[in-house]
Chains A and B, each alone.
Chain A
Amino acid sequence: EAGVTQFPSHSVIEKGQTVTLRCDPISGHDNLYWYRRVMGKEIKFLLHFVKESKQDESGMPNNRFLAERTGGTYSTLKVQPAELEDSGVYFCASSQDLPGQGAQDTQYFGPGTRLTVL
């Protein structure tokens, strides 16, 4: 079974440009998460999709970030326009619900996209 994949692995852009990150979750996982780790700091939650709906977007830093999950499969995270402080590693994770338990299974992570804004 394929794991969570992310594209690109690295992206270097200039301040003011636009970047789109993509995440393909494990097949069948309804839950998809985006996280970010800024250099030297802890991994922070950005948002959570259940299928195509945004369940929790409380971690999105500002309106320069736009996440979509059309059709409930892969997700994209667009940063427009990028700022210097957006540099970091963006992780995607997916999980499935545990039937009848009102809970979710373990989150499985992708390799991350390292974004550098110059």
Chain B
Amino acid sequence: AQTVTQSQPEMSVQEAETVTLSCTYDTSESNYYLFWYKQPPSRQMILVIRQEAYKQQNATENRFSVNFQKAAKSFSLKISDSQLGDTAMYFCAFMKHGGGKLTFGQGTILTVHP
């Protein structure tokens, strides 16, 4: 069985600064996907970024990038130039290559202060 751990229940950052959210996971699978989802206070959960485990290059999406360390089973999310709209709960999630269910971490509440 897979497990995902987010060790930071809450984080805060000043607007325009950079913040990194941590995520570690445990699996015996060799090929899989990792995701970061964001759930703003309005509740709709949206995809932030996706990483395929077989790709060594870290995924990036505009101000969002990941540091994927497969050997260490670590998948952190870096948010650059933080904006007030980044305030949300962030979930790290794992999915086996064949698809199916997502296994989520506990979530990290990120607050961006003006």
Contacts and interface: CB of A to CB of B under 8 A. Distances in A.
The answer to whether A and B belong to the same complex is yes
Interface of A: 3, 31, 33, 35, 41-45, 48, 55-56, 59, 89, 91, 93, 95, 97, 102-104, 106-112
Contacts of A44: 104
Contact of A91 (B45, B99, B101): B45
B54 to A, nearest CB: 11
Interface in B63-99: 91, 95, 97-99
A106 B35 contact: yes
Contacts of B98: 102-104
Interface of B: 4, 33, 35, 37, 42-47, 50, 91, 95, 97-107
Contacts of B50: 106
Nearest to B101: A45
Nearest to A97: B99
Contacts of A3: 44
Contacts of B106: 41-42
Residue of A42, A45, A106, A110 ringed by the most chain B CB atoms within 10 A: A42
Given A106-B35, A111-B44, A42 B105 contact: yes
B45 A33 contact: no
B32 to A, nearest CB: 10
Given A42-B105, A42-B107, A56 B100 contact: yes
A103 B95 CA distance: 10
A42 B44 contact: no
Contacts of B104: 35, 42-44
A111 B42 CA distance: 8
Contact of A45 (B47, B103, B107): B103
A104 B42 CA distance: 27
